[in-house]
């Protein structure tokens, strides 16, 4: 009996089994269904809320793995919103495919973070200027060399101007993209805080790195959802639907 041919990669597996007729493995959109500017919430239900609340004529182009993606218009301009999941490995999959396969030019993460500064309170807005990380992803990419993932200045300025024009004053500075939500050392955040980091989240370093690789623009807007100092925390429902200041600033930045 003839032995089956061994497939050399996971991509070959999907191609050989005609897993999807879309342009990529994890996103089911057809060519032209995703706008050049996209918002990237980690939570797919936040993507659904944004599409239903802020976008006109929103159409869902993706529901693979329940990671919802939509395209509509905001003030007459096309904008997409795509859930990315939690952590660097997950956002890496979606951002690689969005940049490489769908021609996305500007990506704005809209996520939540834990404050590690006394001055940063629940529901405060943060513009991530750069991202430190304990992830091994860039160690693999750069062969143990250090890389400094940084936001696109034009998007930083546009987001700042948009927030200030509404009477809001975001905190601007470095954040920490952590690989682990539950760490072995509960005091680890203090080292990052001592070096000026504002908050901890799980995706920004990868977004900024991939934007640099593909020559695209990227920004991470974060809302403080909990505090490692005061131990306050918001509800899951609030994290999905109530952080509208961040959403409004992101949308205004997206069409600027």
Q: Are 167 and 248 within 8 A, CB to CB? A: no
Using CA atoms, how far apart are residues 255 and 77, in angstroms rounded to an integer? 7
Question: Which is it for the CA torsion 174, 212, 216, 214, positive or negative?
Answer: negative
Closest CA to 122 of 252, 234, 255: 234
Q: Is the dihedral of CA 162, 168, 173, 178 positive or negative?
A: negative
Dihedral (Cα; 41, 160, 228, 181), 10-degree rounding: 30
190: helix, strand or coil = helix
Which of the following is catalytic: 101, 161, 185, 226? 226
CA–CA separation, 237 vs 76, rounded Å? 29
> CA-to-CA distance for 36 and 56, rounded, in angstroms?
17
226 carries an active-site annotation: yes
Indicate the SS3 state at residue 118: coil
What is the C-alpha to C-alpha distance for residues 86 and 174, in angstroms, rounded to an integer?
Answer: 20
Which tokens belong to 61? 């182009």
Catalytic residue set = 226
């Amino acid at each position: 009996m003839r032995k089956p041919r061994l497939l050399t990669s996971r991509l070959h597996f999907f191609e050989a089994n005609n897993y999807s007729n879309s342009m990529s493995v994890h996103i089911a959109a057809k060519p032209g269904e995703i706008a050049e500017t996209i918002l990237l919430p980690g939570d797919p239900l936040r993507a659904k809320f944004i599409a239903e609340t802020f976008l006109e004529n929103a159409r869902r182009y993706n529901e693979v793995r329940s990671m919802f993606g939509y395209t509509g218009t905001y003030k007459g301009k096309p904008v997409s919103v795509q859930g990315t999941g939690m952590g660097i490995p997950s956002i890496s999959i979606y951002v690689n495919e969005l940049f490489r396969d769908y021609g996305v030019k500007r990506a704005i993460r809209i996520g939540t973070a834990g404050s590690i500064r006394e001055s940063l309170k629940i529901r405060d807005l943060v513009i991530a200027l750069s991202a430190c990380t304990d992830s091994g992803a860039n160690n693999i990419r750069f062969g143990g060399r250090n890389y400094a993932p940084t936001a696109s200045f034009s998007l930083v300025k546009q987001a700042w101007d948009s927030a200030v024009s509404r009477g809001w004053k975001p905190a601007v500075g470095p954040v920490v993209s952590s690989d682990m939500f539950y760490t072995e050392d509960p005091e680890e955040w203090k080292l990052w805080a001592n070096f000026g980091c504002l908050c901890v989240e799980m995706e920004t370093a990868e977004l900024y790195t991939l934007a640099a690789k593909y020559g695209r623009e990227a920004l991470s807007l974060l809302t403080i959802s909990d505090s490692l100092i005061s131990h306050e925390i918001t509800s899951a429902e609030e994290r999905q639907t109530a952080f509208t200041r961040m959403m409004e600033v992101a949308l205004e930045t997206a069409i600027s």
